[in-house]
Structure 1
Amino acid sequence: MTKSPSFLTLENFRLECGATLSEARLVYQTYGKLASDRTNAILYPTSYGAQHCDIDWLIRADSILDPSRWFIIIPNMFGNGLSSSPSNCQDCGLSEQGFWFSHVDNVRAQEQLLREVFGIEHLALIYGWSMGAQQAYHWGVLYGDRVTRIAALCGTARTTDHNRIFLQSLRTALTADPTWNGNRFEAIPERGYRAFARIYASWAASQAFYRQGIYYRLGYTSLEDYLLRAWESNYRKRDPHNLLAMIDTWLHCDVSDNFIYQSDYKKAMGAIKAKTLVMPSTTDLYFTPEDCAAEAALIPEAKYLPIPSFWGHRAGNPYQNPTDEDFIRVAIQKLLEE
């Protein structure tokens, strides 16, 4: 039986945007057993739209993260509907009201969780895909002495201008729905969900994925069936205000945008002390291999290892893709053995 997630209440938690949450909530799930010396901890932050139950498929003995050896913690990102989010927190607004969650907020909350609940001072690994990789980079920059290894899959430490256009297109499509009043949705954004899902599907998988009709192998009867059941139905599970909140976090992603580095991006990247495995997908359309390679060059202990895949961005979360899963598993095992 799957155990219920736990949560940590963070009283008077001040956010980077200037707002203070009287009681922020960080929901998390753990897997495996923490060693007596607390040296086997792995942090695995969530990605866009995901909750812990959506990404824990790879936590098993024969996959990427082995819970028989490692104690793995998945903290749910602010805005994802479990931790403090517009859908469950009256104090949580949207960028229209000058409110947003930053990754600094996420990692500060996660650090407090590790220290206060588990007594963990050092992490053996931070493993992150997409927005999880963004959080991993923030950990390396803000808590460099406490992170031994980073595995950053299909994500960057700073949102590029090209990536920003993609995010703005998602936000614009969702808020173009007639139920949006300029501050909130007054009803279910039927048209907005439909447009949002199709934009996302066009970017998250590569042209080769669609050209080869991979979705037929996954059990879908047509392209439209794939778009409806694999994309639109999944995003309809998420409150639209939460989808906007996570976009806002992504738009604000920049490891140097904080009081320590004050927008000195190269200095922030050079401060990462962890052994860092940078793993883009060779066909990712918005976290491109070129952008990831440029960041790897700024990190002193980085290894650049692209995933040779036609699955695009989704190569970094290969729950339907054993070839890419095996490639990642081998790479992570090598990293953990160093």
Structure 2
Amino acid sequence: MADYQIYELGDLPLLSGEMLNDAKLAYQTYGTLSAAGDNVIVLPTFYTGTNTRNEGFFGPGRAIDPARHFIVSPNLFGNGRSSSPSNTPAPQDGPRFPLVQMWDNIAAQHRLVHEHLGIEKIALVAGWSMAGCQSYQWAAQYPDMVQAILPFCASAKTSPHNFVFLEGVKAALCADQKWNGGNYASPPEAGLKAFGRVYAGWAFSQTFYREGLYRQMGFETIEELLQDWERDHVQGWDANDLLAKLATWQAGDISAGPLYNGDYKLALGAIKARAILMPCTQDLYFPPEDNEIEASFMPNAIFRPHHSPWGHCAANPGSDKGFMTQLDANIRELLER
């Protein structure tokens, strides 16, 4: 089976008023749709993630299991599989790629799920980081379709502090002279390495570094970990793609758009889905306090933080077994209720 499929959207109107020309939504499905159509789980992708990376969140015997569920994993615009700066022809190539907001991503995913796959109800939308942000967006944008959500290490609206963190990694990347306003002839490797180094300081917690937990990842020193993050960003990511997704993240707000017109509390209150909000207590850019506030405005939400020194990366498959155990328990609870 190919890693992913492409759903042709045609010209996609964006919330900004612009148009994304000849838009393409990459996705993959796993399992079989039940006769009743009641076993659908949507797993959007996270920042620097793909549907392939999402495969670490499900499997035989897991709470999400292709033997029982029909899993749809749509790829975020800008991630290199769906329409992105790196694969879109002129005049929307590279730095000319338009701003695609969460609203736009979910509108496109809704077309995939409803029009193309013929699905009426979604049992659960779940995801890590930006994927979790999309689960909130799904529940606010299509409240009658989504029955449950489980955002983990995510938020319904990008906080001011989170916005500033993203400005930092962006500045590190764009300081490379090769960046050239996004019109680079070859990858701005120094900028990509700086991006990775800055990001590593936020992805894990202070406790993670203090206790040397990077050794559990096979690194003898912090420098070895930082060099690994450098390599990942140089080898794995186009700079314009990183910045396109970063712009989507910075603009994240479930109340943006014609339904709620910027009324964040109204948007949260309109979510009908059962929800478990699962932050990590030591996440440096999606802190539990934000989710606790959100839960107070959501009619069917449980606030259930997980304590882990792994910070935001507690949710990365293979990092923190305790997190995965709790995640599966929470998913089972939502699907059984």
> Could you tell me whether the CA contact under 8 Å between 1:81 and 1:87 is conserved in 2?
yes
For residues 206-221 of structure 1, the aligned pairs below 5 Å read: 206-221=205-220
**What displacement does 1:319 show?**
2.4
Note closer, same or farther for the CA distance 1:174–1:301 as it changes in structure 2 (3 Å cut).
Answer: same
Q: How big is the shift at 1:76?
A: 0.4
Q: Does 2:92 match 1:92? A: yes
Q: Is the 8 A contact 2:87 2:93 kept in 1?
A: no
In the alignment, which residue of structure 2 is the partner of 1:156?
Answer: 155
Looking at structure 2, the residues matched to 309 and 60 of structure 1 have their Cα atoms a distance apart, in angstroms, of 23
Matches within 5 A, 1:36-51: 36-51=35-50
Q: Helix, strand or coil: the match of 1:78?
A: coil
The answer for the alignment partner of 2:6 in structure 1 is: 7
1:329 Cα shift?
A: 1.0
Q: Do the aligned residues in 1 keep the contact of 2:203 with 2:312 (CA within 8 Å)?
A: yes
Residues 1:139 and 2:138 aligned together: yes
Calculate the TM-score normalised by the size of structure 1.
0.95
Identify if the C-alpha distance between structure 1 residues 111 and 137 changes in structure 2 by more than 3 Å, giving closer, same or farther. Answer: same
Q: Residue by residue, what CA displacement relative to the aligned partner does 1:94-139 show, whole Å, maximum 9, x if unpaired?
A: 7x65821111111011100011221101100001111001111111
Answer yes or no: is the 8 Å Cα contact 1:61–1:67 preserved in 2. yes
Tell me the residue number matched to 1:23. Answer: 22
Partners of 1:87 and 1:244 lie apart in 2 by: 11
Percent of matched pairs sharing the same residue:
41
Matches within 5 A, 1:153-192: 153-192=152-191
- Return the offset for 1:93: 5.2
Q: Is the 8 A contact 1:84 1:92 kept in 2?
A: no
1:235 aligns with 2:229: no
Please name the residue that 1:277 is paired with.
Answer: 276
Distance in 1 separating the partners of 2:199 and 2:242? 12
Shift of 1:64: 4.2
| Cα deviations by residue, 1:271-298 (Å, 9 ceiling, x for unpaired) | 0000011000010000001111111111
Structure 2 residue matching 1:253: 3-state secondary structure: coil
Aligned to 1:78: 77
- Contact 2:158–2:253 under 8 Å retained in 1: yes
Residue 196 of structure 2 aligns with an amino acid whose one-letter code is A
The CA distance in 2 between the partners of 1:233 and 1:182, in whole Å, is 22
TM-score (norm 2): 0.96
Preserved contact between residue 279 and residue 304 of structure 1 (Cα < 8 Å): yes
Cα distance change on mapping 1:62 and 1:224 into 2, 3 Å: farther
Distance 1:161 1:108 in 2: 25
Structure 1 counterpart of 2:311: 312
Query: Separation in 2 of the partners of 1:166 and 1:247?
Result: 11
Deviation at 1:253, TM superposition (A): 0.6
Preserved contact between residue 282 and residue 307 of structure 1 (Cα < 8 Å): yes
Name the amino acid aligned to 1:158.
K
Deviation at 1:182, TM superposition (A): 2.4
- Taking the aligned partners of 1:323 and 1:62, their CA distance within structure 2 comes to 16
The match for 1:328 is 327
SS of residue paired to 1:233:
helix
Deviation of 1:203 (Å):
0.4
CA separation of 1:291/1:93 partners in 2, compared to 1, >3 Å: closer, same or farther?
farther
Tell me, yes or no, if the aligned pair for 2:279 and 2:291 is still in contact at 8 Å: yes
Between the aligned partners of 1:62 and 1:311, the Cα distance in structure 2 is 25
| Letter paired with 1:162 | H
1:190–1:4: structure 2 CA closer, same or farther, 3 Å change rule? closer
Instruction: Check the 8 A contact 2:153/2:315 in 1, yes or no.
Output: yes
- CA-CA distance at 1:153 after TM superposition: 0.5
What is the CA-CA distance between 1:20 and the residue it aligns to?
1.5
2:106 corresponds to? 107
- Which runs of 5 or more residues in structure 2 are unaligned? none
Conserved in 2, the CA contact under 8 Å of 1:154 and 1:313? yes
Q: Following the alignment from structure 2 to structure 1, what is the Cα–Cα distance between the partners of residues 23 and 244?
A: 15
Q: State the secondary structure of the residue aligned to 1:146.
A: coil
Structure-1 separation of matches of 2:248 and 2:293: 22
Structure 1 position 209, deviation (Å): 0.8
Distance 1:97 1:84, change over 3 A: closer
Distance 1:287 1:79 in 2: 21
Q: Is the 8 A contact 1:103 1:249 kept in 2?
A: yes
CA contact (8 A) 1:17 1:98 kept: no
Query: Which one is further off, 48-57 or 162-171?
Result: 48-57
Is residue 282–residue 306 contact of structure 1 (8 Å, CA) maintained in 2? Answer: yes
The residue type equivalent to 1:92 in the other structure is Q
Distance (Å, rounded) in 2 between the aligned partners of 1:53 and 1:235: 17
Cα distance in 2 for partners of 1:63, 1:283 equals 25
Deviation at 1:311, TM superposition (A): 0.7
